[in-house]
Amino acid sequence: MEGEGDFYKSLLDNLYDGVYFLDSERRITYWNKGAERLTGYQASEVVDCYCRNNILMHVDEEGTLLCGENLCPAVKTLQDGQPHEDEVYLHHKQGHRVPVSIRVSPILSPGGRVIGAVEIFSDNSTRVESKQTIEELRRIALLDPLTEVGNRRYIDMNLRFRLAEQERYGWPFGVLFLDIDHFKEINDLYGHDKGDDVLKMTARTLSNSLRSFDTVGRWGGEEFVAVIINVNAEQLHVVAEKLRAMVEQSSITNGSRTVRVTVSIGATVAREDDTPESLINRADQLMYHSKSSGRNRITLG
């Protein structure tokens, strides 16, 4: 039987998807290699821990934490004995959010009693496409080396292309100007290395939360710009709110402390007479309005 168990463990470890088992108390009893790769957490760090103890911390598209008793798909399965599926964002060990599709199934005793659950989760991002894009941007010097999103030059080129596209075809698009709140305090309190980690966490969360045809880049310092295509003002606000919530729900650890940040956002839809400069300036001013209004919010204009 031991050899058979080793065979099945090897089989599960070679799956690309993440797989983990929970007992009836939501204690993690197994964590495969796919789960290690997708989350950054090694099995030794999570086995015998409880899934609700700040590990995956699933959130939905609105940034709502799903670890509560009535929202967690695994809890639902443990309670009703039925499979459950969802599209969520898990918390990576490095702090950023990763979009995944999850499927939870019950584990039953020979008598039919629910004694645990197995969750399988799959990367929901355009991973291969993103890797190819990163390599191409690096090759032509359009990549920010720290955060591995596009740099200022890349955003400027993208804006010029979108404005020409809008003039020719009438296709609308919007711009979001995002600034990390109280970033200087992060550097002063934790040091510049941790500040760099916050920048990388924020960039990855933003990138993972956008559609594959939208664009985000680092404008400079703690500022990011996202270009969102085929949206009106209302739709742009929905995207901005999603990004705001995802950043708010991301975190990194510094010893025993958890470091979280928020972003203030200026959102605007491109106009017929806009230039890249006027678009950025307007979004920038709207972002400062969000700052002066309390931070961690969106101003649309």
Structure tokens at 76: 């639902």
d(CA 205, CA 112): 41
In order, the DSSP letters of 99-116 are: EEEEEEEEEE-TTS-EEE
> Torsion angle, CA of 28/34/36/38, rounded to 10 degrees?
-110
Confidence tier at 211 by pLDDT (50, 70, 90): confident
d(CA 123, CA 23): 24
pLDDT single digits (tens) 19-70:
999 998 889 999 999 999 999 999 999 999 887 777 888 888 888 888 765 6
Mean pLDDT of the chain: 88
pLDDT single digits (tens) 76-101:
998 999 999 888 899 899 999 988 98
Residue 127: the pLDDT is: 56
Within 8 A by CB and 6+ apart from 26, the residues are 50, 51, 52, 74, 75, 78
Residue 53: the pLDDT is: 75
Burial zone of 122 (CB within 10 Å; 0-12 exposed, 13-18 middle, 19+ buried): middle
Query: Taking a C-beta distance cutoff of 8 angstroms, is the pair 203, 148 a contact?
Result: yes
What does pTM read for this prediction?
Answer: 0.77
Phi, psi of 31 (to 5 degrees): -150, 110
Query: Do the domains at 2-123 and 127-300 have one common CATH topology?
Result: no
Report the topology of domain 2-123: Beta-Lactamase (3.30.450)
Mean pLDDT of 128-142: 67
Report the topology of domain 127-300: Alpha-Beta Plaits (3.30.70)
Phi, psi of 264 (to 5 degrees): -100, 135
Which of 4, 69, 85, 222 is flagged as catalytic?
Answer: 222
Confidence tier at 143 by pLDDT (50, 70, 90): confident
pLDDT single digits (tens) 4-21:
556 556 667 677 789 999
Boundaries of every domain in the chain: 2-123, 127-300
**61 labelled catalytic:** no
Q: Is it the case that residue 276 has pLDDT exceeding 60? A: yes
Strands (E), 130-262: 173-180, 215-220, 223-229, 252-254, 257-259
Residue 2: the pLDDT is: 44
